[in-house]
Structure 1
Amino acid sequence: MAREGMDIVVLREPATGSIAEIIPGIGNNLIRFESGGHPVIEPPALLQMLQKEAYAPFQYGMPILFPPNRVHKGRFGYRGREYRLPINEPPDFHLHGELCKRAWEVVEEGVSSEGGAYVTSRFSYASHPDLMAYFPHSLTFTATFRLLEGRLYLEGTIVNDGEEESPFAFGLHPYFSLPFQRGKEIILHAPALEEWPVTSQAMVRGLPSQTEFSRSLNEGVSISEYSELGCSLITLKEGGAVCRIDIPDSAYSIRFRLGPEFPYLVLFRPDWSSAYSLEPYTYVTDAFNLPYEHERTGARGLMPGEVFHFETSMWTEALG
């Protein structure tokens, strides 16, 4: 369907009343998801914001990030090569990459009783000479959104089709729609292992440790008064994670399941909408520039022919 002059893929499930909307033309962004009669993902007020406002493509929906978060001065080195990414958050940072702004190609869509409603889209670096000029690696991203039994699944692959190892850092930035109102409790549960010391821009300032906050996340922490534009960075326990945001006054919770390929999670509360982000990353912010072992920070490469698989799912549940 078309809205505000843009093509949108709509996934519907009449049996559960669930609906998801994806806009392939701007980052393959999941701009809306509702489940169980509740909004899950925070959409932009107007779709045209995604075209006209510089930061909007990574301020709403669920932007796809490569690399996630900031790279200081847009520069880093890997395997003897220096990379210089454009500064898109002046004066100091490259922020969130280009995939969240560029058009993806829809390669398949459909619906079945067994597999639900789905759409598969693809993005290839090789099709964008301007990107290859500063990041010369033929990576191909494929992502499938699937709506089934009230749950929205995202499954995908990233393939290195080139002949050289590529530095690799991937993440997602879902904005979960939450009723931040005075006196309304919101509780976040996450299987946290450690917390990294970070600045307000999620830049790492030391090695992680167990903190009162990281320990408390396992039992549930109130985020009702979490500072606007505040952020935290945690390492998750191994083996994948299910995070939960409880809204007791409205008697429901949002669940967000991550595969083990995402060992790090950034927590962030924007000041431009009533939302909260749980951002799964494959590395910590600006990991290639940190003076720590790559095994600790998640900095890694993708070898020629290597395939990286990722998956997440989100849904709502009633609170008893």
Structure 2
Amino acid sequence: MPITQQTWQGVPVHVLENDQFSVTLCPSLGSNMIRMWDKIAKREVLRVPDTLQAIQEQPGHFGIPMMMPPNRIRHGAFDFDGRHYQLAINTPQGHHIHGILRSRPWQVIRTGEADGRLSITTSFRTTDYPELDEQYPHDLTMEVTYTLSDSGLLQEVSATNHSGLSAPYGFGVHTWFMIDGEPERWTFQLPTEAIWELDPDAMPTGKLLPLGGFSSMAEGINLAGRTLDTVFQIGDNPVVSVLSKPGYSIRYSGSDAFKQWVIYTKGEAKDTICIEPYTWVTNAPNVPLDASVTGMSALAPGETRTLWIDMQITRD
């Protein structure tokens, strides 16, 4: 089936469709994959915004929003490589949250079809937005390619630093999976090593805690009665999570760089669970620990770095 350009709520979207799935990409809203419909199971895989206003007001709460940098930066400020950075303050508590990508337009640069798979690539360049020069004074090109197959959706993200200075770079996604108002039927698995202790502003204190009640998460925890807004450090475990119910399984995996995972249920688990793999932990530039622990990283001048996140769906 072809890739088609359509209109949703008055904005252009691209729809990729095969016999198993239909996915909807909105380039103008942070290149967010705002919908994934499972034709066989007849269910929404992702949390879909009801209106354009809903996603404009909460761009991190639907579909697969992309975050660079991910999550919070205390007061939007940090120092790196002898330079001071000040990101926009966009929380009531006076912090920065979720980065510079999630609500800005991306450009579609190519589409393709090969071996029964459909793909679409969009691009974002920081220098196209003069207001970013004071916040993030680097010339970066981001590209994301979504590839739809009969078994799921692959997301490949590359970042290229065109500037002459090393650019601090942390990336993550907020993927909003539906659990259909039936948390008791769903199990979540993620092999982890520790939990980041958080302060009242939901930022790491620098202390890693034992798993405690999450010690069985590698084998799977039932989501009934769970209230999660928890930051996990997975260490040397495989970068693989599984969200499943009887007869249905979503295997969500990624590049080795995704060592920090936030799991969020938006209150007690009911309709959704947000699975958030990050390359660096919340507020990483300000956490006084080694980069091997926090994931703090930078792109060297001229460097291109590519990450991938893969969603595979099986039905019994």
Matching residue of 1:244: 242
Question: Given the alignment of the two structures, is residue 128 of structure 1 paired with residue 133 of structure 2, yes or no?
Answer: no
Alpha-carbon offset, residue 225 of structure 1: 1.2
What aligned pairs does 1:152-301 form with structure 2 within 5 A after superposition? 152-181=153-182, 184-199=184-199, 201-227=201-227, 230-238=228-236, 240-248=238-246, 251-271=247-267, 274-301=271-298
Partner of 1:45: 50
Secondary structure of the residue that 2:52 maps to in structure 1? coil
1:118 Cα offset (Å): 1.1
Pairing 1:30–2:28 present: no
Ranges in structure 2 where 5+ consecutive residues have no aligned partner:
1-5
Q: Which residue of 2 aligns with 1:19?
A: 22
Q: Spell out, residue by residue over 1:131-176, the C-alpha distance to the aligned partner (whole angstroms, 9 max, x if none).
A: 1122100111000001012310101211111100011111100000
In structure 2, relative to structure 1, the CA distance for the partners of 1:271 and 1:6 (3 Å cut) is: farther
CA contact (8 A) 1:157 1:308 kept: yes
Provide the rounded CA distance (Å) in 2 between the counterparts of 1:76 and 1:317: 43
Partner of 2:110: 108
Q: Distance in 2 between matches of 1:127 and 1:203?
A: 31
Cα 1:306–1:84 change in 2 (3 A) is same
After the TM superposition, list the runs of 4 or more consecutive aligned residues in structure 1 that deviate by more than 4 angstroms.
none
- Give the SS at the match of 1:2: strand
Paired amino acid for 1:297: T
Deviations 1:58-110 (A, max 9, x none): 11111000111111111111111111111111232101012000000000013
Residue identity opposite 1:21 in structure 2? T
- Structure 2 residue 314 is matched with structure 1 residue 317: yes
Matched residue, 1:149: 150
Question: How well do the aligned residues superpose, as a CA RMSD in angstroms?
Answer: 1.9
Instruction: Answer whether contact 1:240 1:263 (CA < 8 A) is retained.
Output: no
Q: 1:252-289: CA deviations, max 9, x gaps?
A: 12221111121110011125982111101011110111
Distance in 1 of aligned mates of 2:309 and 2:135: 30
State the Cα distance separating 1:306 from its structure 2 match. 1.1
Could you tell me the percent identity over the aligned residues? 29
Instruction: For residue 205 of structure 1, report the CA deviation from its aligned partner.
Output: 2.2
Contact 1:264 1:280 in 2 (8 A): yes
**Quick one: distance in 2 between partners of 1:213 and 1:264?**
18
1:71 is aligned, of 70, 73, 91, to 73
Q: Deviations over 1:105-133 (max 9, x none)?
A: 00001323x15111100000011111112
Letter in 2 for 1:133: E
- What amino acid maps onto 1:136 in structure 2? P
Helix, strand or coil at the partner of 2:215: helix
1:89 aligns with 2:91: yes
CA distance in 2, matches of 1:71, 1:130: 18
State the alpha-carbon separation in 1 of the partners of residues 238 and 44 from structure 2.
25
**Cα pair 2:23 2:37 within 8 Å, conserved:** yes
Which ranges in structure 1 are unaligned for 5 or more consecutive residues?
none
Q: Distance in 1 between matches of 2:173 and 2:104?
A: 15
3-state secondary structure, aligned to 1:73 = helix
SS of the counterpart of 2:51? coil
Task: Tell whether the 8 Å contact from 1:257 to 1:314 is kept in structure 2 after alignment.
Answer: yes
The CA distance in 1 between the partners of 2:138 and 2:87, in whole Å, is 13
